[in-house]
Chains A and B, each alone.
Chain A
Amino acid sequence: MATLLRSAVLNPEGYRTVRPAGDGGNGKSHSFSSLAPRLDSIEGKTVYLIDTGFGGSGKFLDQLQAWFAERMPSVKTVRRRKTGNIFRDDTKDLWVEVKERGQAAILGVVG
């Protein structure tokens, strides 16, 4: 029907009000420092290998641990599985441990 619709059609994405979810401050701008300072080298350091629970992550990090043991034996690796829900960052205890005993973390694996 080539005739124009005489009545106007509302825009399904018209006026919207939103409020940010909890962690984002007021949703306006945040200020971040940069990424954490890097290590000069990981030789002799303690690196946490953290499995976030997604299928296959555990096995992947096992292989990574084996690689470090063979190729960079001075790197001490610690395997941990993230507690709590796999979709959110709701872990408190584990990060304190990583801070006290570790110098770096490898996290995986998405998908």
Chain B
Amino acid sequence: MAVAACSRTLEQEYGIPTAPVSTFEFANVVAGDRRFHGIPLRFIYTPHPVVGMPPSVLRGYIEGKDPATQRTVVDEVVEALTKPVTEDEFVGDFTPPSRAGVRQALLEPDTEDNLQRLFYERGWTDGLPIILPTEERVAAMLSGTNRAPDEVVGEIFLHDTQEYLSFTVEMVAIVGVMAGARAEHLPVLLAIASTGQPSIPGSTTPFACMLVVNGPIRNEIGMNSGVGAFSPRNLANSVIGRAWTLLTINWGYMRLKKQFWTSQGNPIGYNNMCVAENEERSPWEPFHVQKGFQAAESTVSLFRGWSFVNNVVGSSHRTVGEDMFIQLGALPGLYSAATLILDPLVARHLKENEGYRTKLDFSRWISQNFKMPAGQFWGTDLIHMMMAPLAEQGVEPYASWKKLPADTLIAPYDKPENINIVVVGGETSPMWKVADFAYSMSASVDKWRAKPATDECADGSCGLPDEP
């Protein structure tokens, strides 16, 4: 939390006494910060929440009691700045806890039921059953890549210990087995892991991720980009999406009430909307080609956001774009980011009947034509928190938007390149989803394959081994 970080800097580097204030709800987050940085900041607690409360209530907090100590808040504030530093507030050498370390590689032998319980109690799962990562299963999984088990795949940032944990091919393979993945899925899991991105980004809001796979790997491992692509009816979609969350929980230490404090959580996290793009039925170039990859390369592309809104079949006397305005009206438009997920019927209709030659043409049309009242735009907290500072610094167009009366219409999507388009669906109905997901990055799958994709293997011996 910035409050604690700023207090530490002022106290240690500028010699300024500080009185940091937090609501009592975050006492354990403050305690976590103390544990990892060692400095006994003199935090003062008020009742929860402060956000949204009127002035009279906040004044009541100041003259009222600190829930942690039952003493008057403002007295504690003054005292924090004037009471001389005591003996135990002198820290001296402090070694922050670290996740480095060697733990016993194998678990004690036990029955299937007891081990399933152990995996849940230790916080290694998402609450659902797993496949126990036995040595044989992990060995079979490792045959899915040509990389050595101890090769480092990527790093993930641990919020609580402020460290980068680097994980190996074997660590990803263990989580792959737990998710029920097969060897042929491992290259995709390694590509995801190489990004170091957690599937549950740290936030108190329901922040979530989406995963789109492009290129030949989609059909090689039988991913679903057609009917029911987003529903649990395909092995590769189910296990790859879930593996990313298990990777985040196990190696990203994203464990509820310990490292992440999402107030409501987001059910998207069970599968992270893991789908393949329906390149065969799409009239436009595949998503990864837009991002500079060759069509013959296989990639994973990661997105982050909060919501998606489904259309329920638009009316016949309006263009698809105008129908989408209804869904866009329910999204904040943060940094002009959105992701349109279109059934091939809709994509082909947009190209053949409404004349959008490329995905970017349609993104530009949305960017120019979708309007939202300025009051609603600034009414979303994240917009206010992240973009109001830009407006105050005079960055256009936000500075001028901030001055407009509440009901004036603005076009919030000022950067069409941030409006991503992915074609997914089985053509049983002209459906689409509009999400506030922003693109974060793509990663190659091919470099993690069992045999580099470019090798010809005439005698067919290089294929994947028999399934165990």
Contact = CB atoms under 8 A, between A and B. Distances in A.
A42 B82 contact: yes
B3 A107 contact: yes
A54 to B, nearest CB: 7
A109 B3 CA distance: 7
Contact of B52 (A12, A41, A55, A62): A55
B16 A98 contact: yes
A19 B163 CA distance: 6
Given A13-B103, A32-B38, A27 B6 contact: no
B289 interface: no
A7 B115 CA distance: 12
Contact of A106 (B15, B21, B29, B89): B21
Interface SS, B side: mixed
A57 B12 CA distance: 24
Contacts of B81: 38-39, 42, 47, 104, 106
Contacts of B266: none
B110 interface: yes
B37 to A, nearest CB: 9
Contacts of B77: 64, 106
A11 B107 contact: yes
A83 B178 CA distance: 44
B63 interface: yes
B458 interface: no
Interface residues on A, range: 35 or more
Given A3-B111, A9-B107, A95 B14 contact: yes
B7 A107 contact: yes
Given A9-B133, A59-B53, 14 more contacts: A1-B112, A4-B111, A9-B106, A33-B12, A36-B10, A38-B83, A38-B85, A56-B50, A63-B61, A64-B62, A91-B6, A105-B16, A110-B4, A110-B29
Interface of A: 1-5, 7-21, 23-24, 27-42, 47, 50, 52-57, 59-60, 62-64, 66-67, 71-72, 81-89, 91, 95, 98-99, 102-111
Interface of B: 1-23, 25-26, 29-30, 38-42, 46, 48-53, 55, 58-59, 61-63, 74, 77-78, 81-85, 89-96, 98-107, 109-113, 115, 119, 122, 124, 132-136, 138, 152, 155, 157-158, 161-167, 171, 174-175, 178, 204, 250-251, 381, 385, 389
